[in-house]
Amino acid sequence: MTKKALITGITGQDGSYLSGFLLEKGYEVYGMVRRSSVERFERIEHIKDRVHLVQGDLTDQSSLDEAVKEIQPDEVYNLAAQSFVPTSWNQPTLTGEITGLGATRLLEALRKLKPDARFYQASSSEMFGKVREVPQTELTPFHPRSPYGVAKVYAHFITVNYRESYDMFACSGILFNHESPRRGLEFVTRKITHGVARIKLGLANEIRLGNLDAKRDWGYAGDYVEAMWLMLQQDRPDDYVIASGETHSVREFVEAAFSSAGLDWERFVVLDPKFVRPAEVDLLIGDPKKAREKLGWSPKVGFRDLVKMMVEEDIETLKNSISLNSIVNT
């Protein structure tokens, strides 16, 4: 029988990759979208006709109850969140409502209306924050450094708690940073690759950045969604670190992005204190051993190829929009 999957956050980076992945596997895919005065479906435009979109919001219990009751999903992937770390200092309670309590609302809907559904929670390496050990594993204690990280710790433990309290099949994937050409423009990788493309095409002459010394374990989003699915196919629910096992500084990312476009980064990067955070996560590097051994998962796209993919796609997309504009204006 065809399996049904419900994805919250389907319009986001990961939601778009996961829905494509599940469609390929033969799933009937349902995606939750929130009401907006303008539709923002660019990331799922290519598959929009093949997925069912349902309106709902992680801050609204009745919409979650209704969706679960109607769809009766076999698998639920909770990817929705206020996911941008700096915004979480400006909007800490909203971040807590969506990113933290949102997980409880969805788990409650499942507990009441579809307790045998398998549940995936999008946990984050931001939970490690001021890291207690290097590399970070499933057993490393958390020390979050932002309201976003704190909200994710809450969502992580409520997932563990529903598994232990109600015997639900609930898993947390502790995913380290993963990027793609579909990444939001505010995150540092895409800000850099989009900026490089604009500079290359003569549309800009600088990129303003904050802390270049921060180190992240960056992978490719297309690889990471497979791990989410694998977690829900196991005999027992569990939590897994999903990471590349390598770390690079923001400066290294900048150098790689500019050099893949044949440019010298030092001529174009301006340091701007506006982008420095009140509390920084200095170093993230995950140990994906458990995922490799138990899920058989390993990443396919490495750091250099990821940077190159993002720069090339940004240049291509911008070039196309320039020629489209020039046709429209003639």
Q: Which two tokens stand for residue 252?
A: 């290294």
**Which positions ≥6 away from 131 have C-beta within 8 Å?**
140, 143, 281, 282, 283, 284
In the complex with ligand NAP, the residue whose CB is nearer, 59 or 259, is: 59
Site string for ligand GDD, 23-52 (x = CB under 6 A): ------------------------------
Residue 154 binds to ligand GDD (criterion: CB under 6 A) = no
The residue sitting closest to ligand NAP, measured at its beta carbon, is 12
Residue 243 as a binder of ligand GDD (CB under 6 A): the answer is no
Contact criterion met (CB below 8 Å) for 14 and 83: no
Tokens of 58: 């992680």
Q: Judge whether 126 counts as a catalytic residue.
A: yes
Residue 116 CB neighbours (<10 A): 10
177 binds ligand NAP (CB under 6 A): yes
User: Amino acid letter at 171?
Assistant: C
Q: How many residues of this chain bind ligand NAP (CB under 6 A)?
A: 26
What residues numbered 178-197 form the site for ligand NAP, per CB under 6 A? 178, 184
Residue 250 within binding range of ligand GDD, rule CB under 6 A: yes
Distance CA(18)–CA(13), nearest Å, equals 9
- The neighbour count for residue 144, using CB atoms within 10 Å, is 20
Partners of 126 in the β-ladder: none
Say which entry of ligand NAP, ligand GDD, none residue 130 contacts (CB below 5 to 8 A, set by partner kind).
none
CA-to-CA dists, residue 190 to 142, 175, 205, 283, 314, angstroms: 27, 18, 17, 19, 9
How far, in Å, CA of 214 to CA of 86, rounded? 15
Candidate ranges 68-76, 110-118, 129-137, 208-216; the one touching ligand GDD (CB under 6 A): 208-216
Residue 12 engages ligand NAP in binding (rule: CB under 6 A):
yes
**Active site amino acids:** 124, 126, 148
Report the interface residues with ligand NAP, using CB under 6 A: 8-9, 11-15, 32, 34, 36, 40, 57-59, 79-83, 98, 122, 124, 175, 177-178, 184
Report the interface residues with ligand GDD, using CB under 6 A: 83, 85, 124-126, 176-177, 186-189, 191, 209-211, 214, 216, 250, 275, 277, 280-281, 284
